[in-house]
Structure 1
Amino acid sequence: MSKILPFKAVRPARAYAGLVASRPYEDYKDEELRAQLEYNPYSFLHIINPGYKFQHEIGGEKRFGMVKNRYLEFKEEGTLIQDKKPCYYIYKICSREASCCGIIAAASAEDYEKNVIRRHEDTIAQREELFKDYLKVVGFNTEPVLLTYPDNPVIDELLESIMATRPEYEFATYNKERHTLWKIEDEANIEQIKSEFGAMEKLYIADGHHRSASSWLLAKESKEQNPDHTGEEPYNYFMSYLISESKLRIYEFSRLIKDLNGYSKEEFLIRLDEWFRIENRGIDLYKPGQKHHFNMYLDGEFYSLFLRNTNYEFTNSLSKLDSYILFEKILRPILGIEDLRYDNRIEYIHGRNDLIELKTRVDSGEFAVGFGMLPAEIEEIKQIADENLTMPPKSTYIEPKLRSGLTIYEF
């Protein structure tokens, strides 16, 4: 049974919420980042980019310490405050395309260890250790792990009733999103939410595999170093955003490859013919309409690739995943891409960007060929996690993406 608890969030004072909240650091281009740091003294970017105060680039553990210092300054100045009692938080995001809402809460690191919280992606040990060390120094977490659970009418009804009341925050952003946050502090509501999640046998990580792994490493290390460990210390939990499965938005990643691995166009198409039925679509912006169909852009033309089921054997849930089929039958054996994370011959476009970008980047000569597919479905992701299998890197691009700095978890 899953253990999902309320916590005492550190968060912006009401007047500063829209100014403090920022997109994830890596989303900013250099010029936009500089503008935010120069003209918005309340931006959370000042905390995670602490060297700006001294106009100096700072890295490594020295940066970790300065992140903590900037964070303490925001608290001392009253920009950030802490709730006096544990709460759950409803966070709703409305964009031009869709809206979603979920619950910000503390998830159990022990549940992660025991596979109650299930994962579908591999993590890199070096990144896990680095982020664990970062968390240990700064003492807080501001990027929740995105967890998903089966649609639950009891939780839905409770959220709707609370969202009919005045929110704690409501603000809009330049990309025409509206962000709203409510506190859940009524004891009866808290107990109901705790009970509903407690009855769930498993939850699934939708996004944030490295963050959850690092949080578990921190909990394990802290436990070993604390002779008075009880299991209730804040380091035993990590901040999560829990959203029902129907509210997730799952996109695919297209693949761009820089060369044909020594093959001519004709030789390459002949190699593909072994596993796929190929149709030339010309200049039509073709996108596949069903699973195990792929689109390919090569030499100014689109192609449809239909997997030959008579040749391919489905052995488990992973073997049915389109990103796996693409890797196993094209990228690795024909194009020589062995490492999807680090090979500099491959790049990715997430599915929110359309076929025009794929076409443009191939037409520019930067890439020789591009491939696309349909997004994975939530049931595929769950089944792969249930079978303790892992998807290839960049198999899913999942939204919502949350703003940093609206709720912070201290340990």
Structure 2
Amino acid sequence: MAELLPFRALRPTVAAAAEVAAPPYDVVDETEAAALATGRPHSFLHVTRPEIDLPAAGPGAAQADVAHSDAAYAASRSALAALVGAGVLARDAGPTYTVYAAPAADGSGGTQVGIVGLVSAAQYRAGVVRTHEHTRPDKLEDRRRHIEAVGAHDEPVLLLAAPDAGVDRVLAAVTARPPDLDVPEAVDGGAFRLWVVGAGPDDAPLVTALEAAFAAMPDLYVADGHHRSEAAALVWDGSGRPAGGPDDAPVGWFPALVIPADRACVLPYDRLVTDLGGRTPQGLLDALAADWQVTASAGPVRPARRGEVGLYLGGHGWYRLAVRPGVVPDDAPPVVRLDVSLLQRTVLDPFLGISDPRTDPRIGFLGGRTPADLAAIVDSGRFACAFTLHPTSPDDVMAVARSGEVMPPKSTWFAPKPYSGLFVHETVPAG
């Protein structure tokens, strides 16, 4: 069964939180990170993107070499220790959960809310924490080295959980009270609120209820953070796999924001292709007609349901594609039923010659953007066409993970991702 345990988080003071909170390391590139951290010495980007504080690569050297250098990993550790030493980050007096809420990124006006706690690397290895994506060796090695150098897991993994009445009752009770931290405008324009659960005199029943609710769940599902999860397990493997709880063997645990599936926000992950594989625009439309009903559209297309895809052809406008009955068998495995799989199987591979979207340079991916954004990119001449998709649902993610299959690359865009620096789990105290 699953476990999500409270822990003594290293977190910013209320006064410093807005400056500390930073977008996850993989959401911003070096230039963006440097701009966001300029004039903000306490930004957590100094920990997660240390290359912004190091000399640029010399002639003939790649800047990525700086980011993955021994000096960079050492700088991450020093930056975290400096934040602790300055009193900007402080440890909880005792184990706590954190309820974390942020505005949903889909424009619905809703809120994405979940619970931050520690997940066991042993349960990850046992498959209780289920995955649905492949990982890349280079990214794994970077995350492993970062964790070991910093002596902490400084960014939470995002997990999905099946909806649970006990968890819902706790979330309702906690979010009914004033937040312990409310940042209406973070450094990148986002917002979040959080509640610390376990520090107050009346919180014991809430902590007990959360521990019991998660202990009764058969599994959890990685939504975002496959590399961080696997890297955490690799660090645990390399430590000799000490047994025990978070206080006895902190290296065996890593932080996660667990969101009930019915509260998660998933945005579409669209595709762009550089050329039409030797076909004319009309030739492509004619070829698609075998599996799709093709209808011209007067404006941008964002599919409203599964089985629909939008197509923008440079110079020819928008089309709505609706899959014909029988193309997706009713008894097809979960991964085959995904729209991203359907597009790959019936369009990208047979007609555009993209057999491996993981490695083919002719395909690009864009998450969380509008159809108009994609059309503008095509019209710039960089790509010949774009495909807009309906978001993959959290239920689809969990079904694929349960089946043991792997989803196509860039199938989901969970947003917003939690800010970094708000709940750090130390494996080696920073100072």
TM-score in terms of structure 1 length: 0.92
Gap change, CA 1:257 and 1:206, over 3 Å in 2:
same
> Is 1:111 paired with 2:126?
no
2:100 aligns to what?
91
Deviation, 1:346, is 1.2
Q: Distance in 1 between matches of 2:394 and 2:50?
A: 38
Q: Distance in 2 between matches of 1:103 and 1:33?
A: 27
Deviation, 1:50, is 3.3
| Aligned partner (choices 273, 296, 317) of residue 289 of structure 2 | 273
Contact 1:149 1:204 in 2 (8 A): yes
1:180 aligns to what?
193
Deviation, 1:280, is 2.4
Name the aligned partner's letter for residue 270 of structure 2: S
2:383 aligns to what?
367
> Is 1:341 paired with 2:350?
no
1:222 aligns to what?
239
Q: Distance in 2 between matches of 1:336 and 1:94?
A: 39
Secondary structure, aligned partner of 1:192: helix
Contact 1:144 1:240 in 2 (8 A): yes
Deviation, 1:153, is 2.5
Q: Distance in 2 between matches of 1:170 and 1:392?
A: 37
> Is 1:63 paired with 2:79?
no
Deviation, 1:105, is 0.2
Q: Distance in 2 between matches of 1:33 and 1:341?
A: 26
Identify which range, 106-115 or 92-101, moves more after superposition. Answer: 92-101
Secondary structure, aligned partner of 2:76: helix
Name the aligned partner's letter for residue 316 of structure 2: G
Structure 2: gaps spanning 5 or more residues: 58-65
Name the aligned partner's letter for residue 158 of structure 2: L
Gap change, CA 1:384 and 1:48, over 3 Å in 2:
closer
Q: Distance in 1 between matches of 2:359 and 2:372?
A: 25
Deviation, 1:162, is 2.7
Deviation, 1:209, is 1.3
Q: Distance in 1 between matches of 2:411 and 2:160?
A: 17
Gap change, CA 1:133 and 1:199, over 3 Å in 2:
same
Deviation, 1:273, is 2.5
1:331 aligns to what?
348
Deviation, 1:355, is 1.3
Contact 2:261 2:395 in 1 (8 A): no
Q: Distance in 2 between matches of 1:70 and 1:347?
A: 35
Deviation, 1:147, is 1.2
Note the alpha carbon deviations across 1:62-119, whole angstroms, 9 max, x for none.
Answer: 2111110111111111111111211111112236732122111001112212221111
Q: Distance in 1 between matches of 2:13 and 2:214?
A: 29
Structure 1: gaps spanning 5 or more residues: none
1:297 aligns to what?
312
| Aligned partner (choices 251, 257, 264) of residue 248 of structure 1 | 264
Deviation, 1:61, is 2.5
Deviation, 1:307, is 2.0
Deviation, 1:408, is 0.5
1:130 aligns to what?
142
Secondary structure, aligned partner of 2:240: helix
Q: Distance in 1 between matches of 2:16 and 2:319?
A: 51
Contact 1:291 1:374 in 2 (8 A): yes
Name the aligned partner's letter for residue 71 of structure 1: L
Deviation, 1:214, is 1.2
Contact 2:6 2:96 in 1 (8 A): yes
Identify which range, 385-394 or 375-384, moves more after superposition. Answer: 375-384
Q: Distance in 2 between matches of 1:136 and 1:12?
A: 22
Structure-to-structure mapping, 1:5-154, within 5 angstroms: 5-28=5-28, 33-53=33-53, 55-56=55-56, 58-59=66-67, 60-94=69-103, 97-154=109-166
Name the aligned partner's letter for residue 321 of structure 2: L
Note the alpha carbon deviations across 1:267-320, whole angstroms, 9 max, x for none.
Answer: 322322232222223x32233333222111113321122223345545311111
Q: Distance in 2 between matches of 1:295 and 1:393?
A: 19
Q: Distance in 2 between matches of 1:196 and 1:120?
A: 24
2:214 aligns to what?
197
Contact 1:275 1:312 in 2 (8 A): no
Contact 1:287 1:372 in 2 (8 A): yes
Deviation, 1:56, is 4.8
Note the alpha carbon deviations across 1:100-140, whole angstroms, 9 max, x for none.
Answer: 22111001112212221111222223322331122112111
Contact 1:142 1:404 in 2 (8 A): yes
Identify which range, 355-364 or 265-274, moves more after superposition. Answer: 265-274
Contact 1:147 1:242 in 2 (8 A): yes
Note the alpha carbon deviations across 1:168-208, whole angstroms, 9 max, x for none.
Answer: 32222156543222211133322221111101111111111
Q: Distance in 2 between matches of 1:127 and 1:398?
A: 19
> Is 1:355 paired with 2:356?
no
Percentage identity across paired residues of the two chains: 29
Name the aligned partner's letter for residue 200 of structure 1: M
Identify which range, 97-106 or 233-242, moves more after superposition. Answer: 97-106
Q: Distance in 1 between matches of 2:148 and 2:6?
A: 21
Q: Distance in 1 between matches of 2:281 and 2:42?
A: 54
Contact 2:140 2:228 in 1 (8 A): yes
Q: Distance in 2 between matches of 1:305 and 1:321?
A: 15
Q: Distance in 2 between matches of 1:21 and 1:301?
A: 41
Q: Distance in 1 between matches of 2:22 and 2:51?
A: 17
Name the aligned partner's letter for residue 380 of structure 1: D
Secondary structure, aligned partner of 2:46: helix
| Aligned partner (choices 398, 410, 423) of residue 407 of structure 1 | 423
Q: Distance in 1 between matches of 2:179 and 2:92?
A: 15
Q: Distance in 2 between matches of 1:382 and 1:64?
A: 34
1:211 aligns to what?
228
Aligned length: 405
